[in-house]
Structure 1
C-alpha cells in the first residue's frame, strides 16, 4: 500500500456521505490515509423530505443531520468551505482561502432545477431543491394566508389563495400533498373557507407520476381529487410573469405562489470544471440526450478524463440498460459506494468493480397520511405504504448517524408533531407538563424512602439477627455469611416491603371479605402477581437468586437493597437523575414481581416509574441544572461520538 493518500470528497449529499462512510470504515485505523469532506453547510440535508418542511408538517431540524453527528469521532475531517476551482493536473481543489491536495477526488456536487429555457419561470417561481428553498416557501405560504384574511379585493384574495405546482413527478406530487393538508390547518386557523383555496398541479405529460404503474397513479390521482386538488395534465407551461403562469392553450393562472418542480438539471459548477459531459443537442440519440452539467463517467464511476476523479450522484451521466441513470437517492448512494470501493481498490491494489444498479423501487407520499409504493415488487398504498416510507428513511438514517438520529426522526415525525398530520394522527404528540407530575413523583419517592427505613427498623442492618432476605431464595439455600443459628430464618415468607406491607395486605384482605358480603369481587388485589411457589417465581429464584446471589454475603445483599430503596426515593424526591432513579425503580419492581413477592395493589410503583422515564424530574427538581451539564459532558466524549450515543446533539 502506498503512503500518505489524501481522499477529498466535495459535497455532503447522499453520494458524498455514502462514499465517506465506506472509506472511513475501511481506513479508520490507518493513519496513512486521510479523508476530507468539503461542504458549505455544517449539515447533511435529507433532500427527499424537504416538502415536509416546506409544507410545515415538521420542524426544520428534521431534514438537517449535522456532520458532527454523521462522522462523530471518526477520522473524516469536515471542512466548511466552498470549492471554487479544481486543477486536475496538479490534483488540487481551491477555495477562496485554502488549497486542498488530493490523490483521489469524489465529486458529489448535486443537481439544480431545470427551467427548460422557458421565459420568466426562474425569476417568478419558487423551487424545492435545497434547505433554503424549503424555508423560503414555508414562510411565504404562512405569510400569504395571513395577508389573504385581511384582503378585501376578491380577485387579489383569490390570487393569494391559489397555489400552482408545476410538475407531477415525485417532488411536485409530494409538495401538493403537503399543501392539501396544510390548507386545512391554515383555513381553520384564519377562518378561511376551504372552498376559497385552490391547489393546482400542472403537468405537460398526459399523466402524473409517469415512473409508477398505472394502478398506483390512479390511486394517487383519486386521493388528490377527493381532497380538492386540481390536476391539469397534458398542459404545458410556456411562460411566467409576476403573479401569472402562462399555459400553452393561451390561458393563464393568477397566483401568488408558483412552485416549479418540473425538471432536474445538472450542476452549473460541475459544468464549469472542464470535464466531459454526455451527448448534447438534437444530434444525441433520443432518450439519451444529456443536459448541462452531468459528467460522463465509466462503468467504474470514474471520470472519462481523469481516472482518480469519481463523480457520484445527480451530476453523473451513465447509460445502463439503454437508459441514463435516474437522478434519485438510490443512484447517489450506490454510485458513492462503488466509487469508495474502487478508491480502496486503487490504494490497496485489489480488483475494482463495475457499477450495477440495484434499485429497490419507488414510493411517493401525498401528505403525512397517504402514500403509494412499489418496493421490491410489493405494491402498497395508504397507511402501509406510508409506514414503508418511514421504515426506508429509518434504514438510511441508522447507517448515517445511528439510533440517535432515528430517534430524532421519530420525534419529529410523530412525537412532536402536534398537527396530527401523521399515520397515527395526534396520538403520540400530547405531552403532560412536568409540574403536574410533581405530586406523584414526591409520593413515589417517599414510599421508597420509607421502605428502606422500615427495613432498617426490622433489623436488615443488624447482622447479629441473621438474614432477613432469605425469603428470596429456595428452601435449603444458605447465603454466604449467614450464621448457622440463623438458618431457621430461611423460608419465612416476609413480604417485599416488610411488616408495613404485610399489614396493608391484611387490611386489603379484610376489606375484600367485608365487601364480598354484599358484592362478589371480580379480582383479588391482595394476591401476589406471581404465586410464590408458582412456575415463574420458581424459575426466577432458581435461575438467578440461588445460582448467583446466594454467593453474595447476606450483609452485602441486605445493605444493597436498603441503600437502593432509599437512594431511589431521595433521587425522586429531589428530582435528581430522575430517569435513572425511575429505571432502577422499575427494575426493582420487576425483580420482586418475578420473585413472587409483589402484590397487585403495589403495581402502581411500576407504572409510576415508567411515567418518570419521560423526564418528569425537571419540574422543581435538581435535574433542571444537573442534566444539561452531564449531557454536554457526555456528548463530547469519544464513545458517544463514535457510537452515536448522543443525548440530543453533539457538544463538539
Structure 2
C-alpha cells in the first residue's frame, strides 16, 4: 500500500490530511501519516489573545486525536530532523518513516536577521508555549513593578517594545494596550507609568493595507497609548536595554520587555529540506503549478513553506492562512490523482479574499472582497468579518465542537468586556435564580395537558372547534361586516361560546402583510379603554400552515385525535421534565416549538406570551441547578462522546 507522510500539523498540514483521508476513505489506496512534535494544532493567528490575557490558553489548542477521530490518519508525535529524498525516508528523533509521497507543511518560525541579542533577550509569539510564557511574564512584570521602590527600575519594568508593525505586531501591541488598564487597576499602577512602543523599519504600520486603512491603525494605536517608531530598526537587544537606529542616529532605551514579531522564515526541517531541493528567500521551497517541488515530483509543499508565483503576478503567494487552506485543497486533490490514477491534476490558482486585523478585542480593520473588487471595513464590521472567517475555518477543522468553543471563549466568557459586542453575552446570572421560573413553566404545561385530558382530547376530535373558533374570532375583528357569520361559527365552539355575543367589539392594532409571505395580526377583543392583558392576542397567518391544517388535519378525525394525543402527551412530558429539571434543553426547545405552532394556528393571548420568553430563559443550563440534569447530563455526555459517528462528526462540546 502506498504511503503519504505529512510533516507538520499546522493550518496546511491538517487540512491536507483531512481532505486526502476523505477522498481515499472508500478506496483504501494509501496510508496517511501526519507528524508533529505536539499532540495539538495551534491557532497561530489567535496567539496575541492568550498573550494579553483575553482568552484562556486552551482556546487556541485543538487536539489532533479529536481532529482525526474516525479518519484513517496515523498521528505520530515526533520531531523531524532530516529527509532522505533518494531513499524516500523521513527521519525523526523517535523513528523513521517511509513515504511514496511527502507533504512538507511544517510552517514557519521567527526570523532574527542576525541582530545581536534578539534570540536570547526577547519574547517571541509563534507557538502555544510562547503565548503562555509571555502572558505570565506580563502579569509578573506588573506584580513586581507594583512593589518596586526605585523609580527608574519601576519605569524600566513597565516599558514594553513590540518589534514589528506587520499583522502580528499590530495585533500584539493592540491587545497589550487594551490589557494594560486592567492590569494597572489590579496592581494599583497609574496608566501613565506604562510605556508601549511599536517599532518597524517601514514607513507605516501594515504597509500591505491601503494607506487610508493603515492611517486608521496608527490613529487607533496612538489613542490606546502606543507610540509608533517607524523608519527605525533594531541594532541590538540586551537584557535591560534596546538599541535603535533611526533617521536621527542611534539611540539606546531602557526596557523591561521586548516582544519580537518582526518577520518569519521557514521551519528548521523545511530549511533542511530546501537545502537538498531548492531554497529561495526565507527558506521557502519553489513548487510547480501542481504544488510539487521543482526538484522532486514526489514532494508536495504547502502553506508557508511553498514559494509559488501565480501566472500574471510578480510576487509569490503570501504566508497567510488562506494560502494554507487553498494550497491544502489542491495538494490533497493532486496526491489523490497521483495515487489512484483517477481524475486530472489541478493547477494552483489562488484567489485571496483580503485580510482582517484586530487591534484589541473591540476594534479592527479589514480589506476584503474579490480580486478587483476589494473594500475596506473598520471597527465593528471588521471584527465581525474576522470572527466570521475564523468560524469558517473552524468548521473545516473541528466542526461544531470548535465553533462552540470559539464562541464560548470570544463571547460568552470573555473577560473585562473585551469583545466587539462588549460583555453583553458574558454577563453570568446564577442559574439557581431560574429554578422558580423553570418549575412554574413546567407546572403550567402540566396543568394544560391535564385540562385537555379532562376535556376529552383523547376521545373526540376537538381541533375543528379549537382552530375554527379562534379563526372566526380573529375574522370577526378584522372584518366586522362578517361578524354575524363569525358569531355563529364561534358559538359552535365550546371554549368560545360565551364570547360570541360580543365578538365584533374588538380593535385591530395592526394587520401587516409581510412581503406576501405571511401576515402579522395583533388585535384586542374589546375596545382599548376596556382591554386587559388577556384581551390582546397575536397571530402569525402563514398560508402554508393554513393549508396543512385545512387539508391534512381537520378533514380526518383520526388525524385530529392523533395530533391531539401528541399535543397532550408533549405538554405533560414538557411539564414533568421542566419541574424535575431533566433534559431541560430539549424540553424547553419543544416548548418553544409548541408555542410557535399555537401562534401560527390559534394565536396567543399576551397573558400567555410569558411562556415563550420563559422557554428561552431556561433553554441552556437551567436544569443543572436543583434538577436531575445535574446528574444525568454528565453521564450522557460521556456516552455521547464515545459514539464513533458523533466523534467523527464533531457533534459534541467539551
Q: Does 1:354 align with 2:351?
A: no
Q: Does 1:261 align with 2:261?
A: yes
Q: Does 1:290 align with 2:281?
A: yes
Distance 1:203 1:469, change over 3 A: same
Cα distance per residue 1:226-283 (max 9 Å; x no partner): 221101111111111112111233322222211001111222222234644656xxxx
The separation in 2 between residues aligned to 1:592 and 1:208, in whole angstroms, is 57
- Normalized per residue, the structure richer in strand is 2
Question: What secondary structure is seen at the aligned counterpart in 2 of 1:443?
Answer: helix
Cα distance per residue 1:598-630 (max 9 Å; x no partner): 321011111111111122110011101111111
Cα distance per residue 1:71-104 (max 9 Å; x no partner): 3323333333333433323323243444433221
Cα distance per residue 1:11-67 (max 9 Å; x no partner): 111111231232123222222233222222222211111111111112222222223
- The residue aligned with 2:510 is none
* Equivalent pair of 1:275/1:295 in contact (CA under 8 Å): no
- The residue aligned with 1:513 is none
Report the alpha carbon displacement of residue 555 of structure 1 after superposing the two structures with TM: 4.9
1:118-137 alignment runs, 5 A limit: 118-137=115-134
- Structure 1: where are the runs of 5+ without partners? 280-288, 476-487, 510-515
Which of 605, 611, 614 is the aligned partner of 1:605?
611
Report the alpha carbon displacement of residue 408 of structure 1 after superposing the two structures with TM: 2.2
Cα distance per residue 1:467-487 (max 9 Å; x no partner): 344434559xxxxxxxxxxxx
Which of 398, 406, 421 is the aligned partner of 2:403?
406
* Equivalent pair of 2:199/2:230 in contact (CA under 8 Å): yes
* Equivalent pair of 1:474/1:541 in contact (CA under 8 Å): no
Distance 1:326 1:556, change over 3 A: closer
Cα distance per residue 1:175-198 (max 9 Å; x no partner): 000011001111222222111111
Distance 1:592 1:232, change over 3 A: same
- The residue aligned with 1:452 is 449
- The residue aligned with 2:328 is 336
Give the stretch that moved more between structures: 60-69 or 437-446: 60-69
Question: What secondary structure is seen at the aligned counterpart in 1 of 2:54?
Answer: coil
Which of 381, 386, 389 is the aligned partner of 2:383?
386
Distance 1:468 1:212, change over 3 A: closer
Which of 303, 323, 326 is the aligned partner of 2:315?
323
- The residue aligned with 1:484 is none
- The residue aligned with 2:645 is 639
Q: Does 1:569 align with 2:570?
A: no
- The residue aligned with 1:77 is 74
1:468-547 alignment runs, 5 A limit: 468-472=462-466, 492-493=492-493, 521=529, 524-527=532-535, 529-530=537-538, 536=541, 540-544=545-549, 546-547=551-552
Question: What secondary structure is seen at the aligned counterpart in 1 of 2:367?
Answer: strand
Distance 1:611 1:495, change over 3 A: farther
- Structure 2: where are the runs of 5+ without partners? 470-487, 507-523
TM-score normalised according to structure 2 size: 0.85
- The residue aligned with 2:600 is 594
The separation in 1 between residues aligned to 2:495 and 2:163, in whole angstroms, is 72
Report the alpha carbon displacement of residue 528 of structure 1 after superposing the two structures with TM: 5.9
The separation in 1 between residues aligned to 2:640 and 2:350, in whole angstroms, is 41
Give the stretch that moved more between structures: 168-177 or 444-453: 444-453
* Equivalent pair of 2:52/2:135 in contact (CA under 8 Å): yes
* Equivalent pair of 1:473/1:545 in contact (CA under 8 Å): no
The separation in 1 between residues aligned to 2:423 and 2:538, in whole angstroms, is 36
Give the stretch that moved more between structures: 72-81 or 225-234: 72-81
The separation in 2 between residues aligned to 1:36 and 1:8, in whole angstroms, is 5
Distance 1:439 1:276, change over 3 A: same
